Structure formats: structure tokens, C-alpha cells
Amino acid sequence: MKILVAGYQHETNTFAPTKADWAAFNRGDSFPAFIHGQAMLDKLSGINIPIGGFIDAARTRGWQLVPSSWCGAIPSSYVTEDAFERISASILADVHKGGFDAVYLDLHGAAVAEHVDDTEGELLARIRRVVGAAIPIVASLDLHANVTHRMLQEADALVAYRSYPHVDMAATGELAAQLLARRFQLGRREPLHFQRLPFLIPLNAQSTWMEPAKGVYEELLELDRDFDSVLSFCMAFPAADFAECAPMVWGHGAQAEAAVRRLAERVTEPTQWRLTTLDAADAVVHALALATNRSQPVVLADTQDNPGAGGDSNTTGMLHALLQQGAGRRFPGQVALGLLFDSEAAAMAAAAGVGATISTTLGKAVPTFTGNLSDPPVRGEFKVRAVHDGKVTLKGPMMTGLTVHLGPCACLEIDGVLVAVASGKKQMLDRELFRMVGITPEAMKLIVVKSSNHFRADFTPLVADAATDILVAKAAGPMAADPADLPWKHLPASTRRRP
């Protein structure tokens, strides 16, 4: 069997300030840069991303891979029309060449372009028009996909991650290979059943390291065993303002209808998904009280500036709160925040060198979902503790083995607080992102991460008690912790309600 493989990854927060242009897909900061042909197979094999898992599973099955192109950009506002059309044209040029028996796509499932709400459904439809009905198309999706009817209609099979943090990305690529093998064996599409949820789930309530999501996915696996189905539950990305932004349960298999019905009954009880958060000042006060009696760190998630959800990782609400509460004076050199995106400050630190003191501002005031600006930049004297070129290989459970390129980076200290500053945007999901600038996470008392849930995979092992020592903080930023707070225009009113 010859399988054409390609990928396109973007998670779109339509309320965010920065769009994903063609350059965003070529930077190589949070994702590998745009890559085409054999180099894609060589570079992405063995990495914990879906296409890496599919490549390895396909080779094990003896399938021949026909590489097209793969690209990804950090979550942000709309994908520009130019970027999407370039990506689509690259893949379709290879599809038109033919010479393959099936297509595998590594998709996110929540990408919205300036001119197309459902870009994954559009890409699938364009490919289907070329290959016809007989050629199978299978795709893997992020757990945060906003799965549309068009996506389900155009693909022979779809399967999504089952963990958040997404430690099973490569395993999901392997599941996609399994679905394709089932499709080959059956000779036709398997029966499909699906059910959409009538409300949005906040990101911080979606972690599979906690209930209710933990139990939901355990039941999903049990149902797959009982019904010989391949189920998926996408909790959705609740910041894409179009009609089909919502969680979705679906499954493939002869008995999938019963399995989908059972799982949907479990997840559609709304109150289980309610969210608990603290404002920035209260979160820091509470964290300081906890840290006094802890030998291990307390971790605070700066969720509303998560660059994995459309933030630019440059707001300063949590840094202001740390400074106002004297966190660095109380625990000098044992309070850390990162990654903060500020290329100018990073360049200034690199030019000044380790040991120098620079007078500058850090961070930026940006438009938030409320229509107001976030907190002002922090102005002061910063000690340069370390500098780095920003090239780092991730070692934690997520994206293991991926090398990211963040440009000049530095550790800047102000009033005892250590700030990991970068010239590229990357969610703090791996301890190596602190270590590259000389911050040892294990030695900290307080750690502020610009992340919502992905940090849990590598940072939960640091804390004494995940139930009490990981706090979700709401500082002003572009991504609402509660999606009901967003100024929706196109999402049906019935879906906007709070769980």
C-alpha cells in the first residue's frame, strides 16, 4: 500500500490579537517549520506528534509512504487567506500526482481562516474532489478540534487524542493507521455515529489528569473494548467564533451507535465541567502561604495568556502580582515565571551579557477579550542572569524529542523574581524551557507558567499535592478562562451558556 501523508496544524482563537500568516508556519518555534518531501519523513519520525506515530506505524505494516508537506503554527487568531491557500496548494499539488492508495492527514481540527470557517473540512473536501470516493482519507485530530459535519462527511475516519496534556500524540497517529487498516480490510467505510454537546467546556476543566475528564476517557477505552469501536471525544477549542464550535462525541464501527450513546450520556451532564479560578493577586497570596510549608514548588497557571490558546505570552498581570506581594523578596531567586515573549528585552540582555544590569520594560499591554488592555509593561532594573540562543530539545512527556528555535533568550531577575524571556512564542509545557536559561524548576518555591493544562505533564511531578499545589490564575489576557465571557457573534446562543 502507498499512503500519501501530509499535515496542517493550527488552533484558532478568533478573539486573539495576532493572526497566523505564512511566516508563522515557517518559524519553527512551537512547531517544526514548513517541510516538504522526504525531509518530512526523516525529520518527523520518532517525535511525539501524530504524524511521527503514523510514519512509524505505517513502516511497521510495510506501507510505502508518499510524503507531501507538513506545517504548524502556534495558536493565534485567524490563519490568513494567503497562508491557508499556500498550505492547501502544496498538499493538493501532490494529491494531483496520484500514485497512492490512501491519504493520511495530521490535522488539528480547530483552524479558522480569514475566508473559511472550517479549514480542515475545506481541505478534506478539496482532496476528496481530486481522489474520488474510492480512495480512503483518514485523519488524526487534536482533542481540542471543533469537529464539523463536513469533516465527518469527507473523511473515511477521524480519531482524536485521548489525553490533555497531549502525551498521546504519536499514539493517536498509530490509531489513525489502525483505522486505515480496518478500512482496507472492510473494503468500505465503517458505520459512523456522532453527537454534539450543547455547551462549551472551559480549557482548565478539560485536563485528563483530573476528574471528570480522567474518568470519561477511562470509560471511552472500556467502551471501545466492549463494542469493538474507535471512539473519540473532542472537548473542543472554546474560542472559535463560528457555528460549529462545540464538543463532539463520535465513533467508527459496527456497534458504534451504542458506544457513542453511552459516552454521550456520560459527558453531557453540564455541572461536572464547572471551573474554579483565582484572580492574579489572590492566587499569589495563596501560593505564598502554601510555599511557606512546602519543600516542593507551588505552580500557578497564567491561563488567560496561554500561547497555546491564542495569547502572545507577553502580558504582565502575574509578574505585577508577584512583585506587589514581594514574592521574590520572600523567596529570593526561588520564584520563576516563563516563558515571557519579549524579543527586544531578550536582545538587549544578550547584548549586555551575563552579570549586566539593564534598564528596560518587560512585556506588553495587549487587547483582551473584554475590550480593555491588559496590565502595563513592567519597568525597572533587570539583572541578566543567563543568556541562550533559544535552540532547545524538549525532554518532557509532550512533544518529546522536538527541537524548537526561540531565538535569543535570557533569564532576567527583578526584585528576586526570575523571568525566562524568549524571542519566540512557546507554551511552558517542558522544564527544559526554564533550564535553557539557567532556572532549575526543582529548586523553585513558586513557578508561574504561561499555560492552561499542558504544563501538568512535566510539572505535576514537582509538586507535593496536585490537588492543592497547582493553582489556576486569571490575569488580564486574550483568552477567557470561562468561554461564556467571550463576546460571541456567530456561535448559537444555545451553545454559549455556562455548563
CA distance 328 to 62: 57
CA proximity to 425, closest of 8, 6, 17, 15: 17
CA distance 467 to 60: 41
Q: Do you find a cis peptide bond into 165, omega within 30 degrees of 0?
A: yes
Burial call 463-486: b when 16+ CB within 10 Å, e when fewer: beebeebbbbbbbbbbbbbbbeeb
Q: Which residues contact 218 (CB under 8 A, 6 or more apart)?
A: none
CA distance 316 to 378: 7
Q: Which residues contact 351 (CB under 8 A, 6 or more apart)?
A: none
- Tens of pLDDT, residues 184-193: 999 999 999 9
Burial call 213-227: b when 16+ CB within 10 Å, e when fewer: beebbebbeebbeeb
Residue 134 — φ and ψ, nearest 5°?
A: -80, -25
Q: Which residues contact 187 (CB under 8 A, 6 or more apart)?
A: none
SS3 call for 419 = strand
Q: Which residues contact 252 (CB under 8 A, 6 or more apart)?
A: 157, 179, 182, 190, 191, 192, 229, 230
- Domain locations in the chain? 2-273, 278-481
CB 48 within 8 A of CB 148: no
CA distance 54 to 52: 6
The H-assigned helical ranges of 339-492 are 343-352, 432-435, 456-459, 466-469
CA proximity to 256, closest of 232, 275, 292: 232
SS3 call for 367 = strand
Q: Do you find a cis peptide bond into 203, omega within 30 degrees of 0?
A: no
pLDDT in tens, the chain (499 residues): 999 999 999 999 999 999 999 999 999 888 899 999 999 999 999 999 999 999 999 999 999 999 999 999 999 999 999 999 999 999 999 999 999 999 999 999 999 999 999 999 999 999 999 999 999 999 999 999 999 999 999 999 999 999 999 999 999 999 999 999 999 999 999 999 999 999 999 999 999 999 999 999 999 999 999 999 999 999 999 999 999 999 999 999 999 999 999 999 999 999 999 888 999 999 999 999 999 999 999 999 999 999 999 999 999 999 999 999 999 999 999 999 999 999 999 999 999 999 999 999 999 999 999 889 999 999 999 999 999 999 999 999 999 999 999 999 999 999 999 999 999 999 999 999 999 999 999 999 999 999 999 999 999 999 999 999 999 999 999 999 999 999 999 999 989 877 7
Q: In CATH, what number does 2-273 get?
A: 3.40.50.2300
- Tens of pLDDT, residues 54-93: 999 999 999 999 999 999 999 999 999 999 999 999 999 9
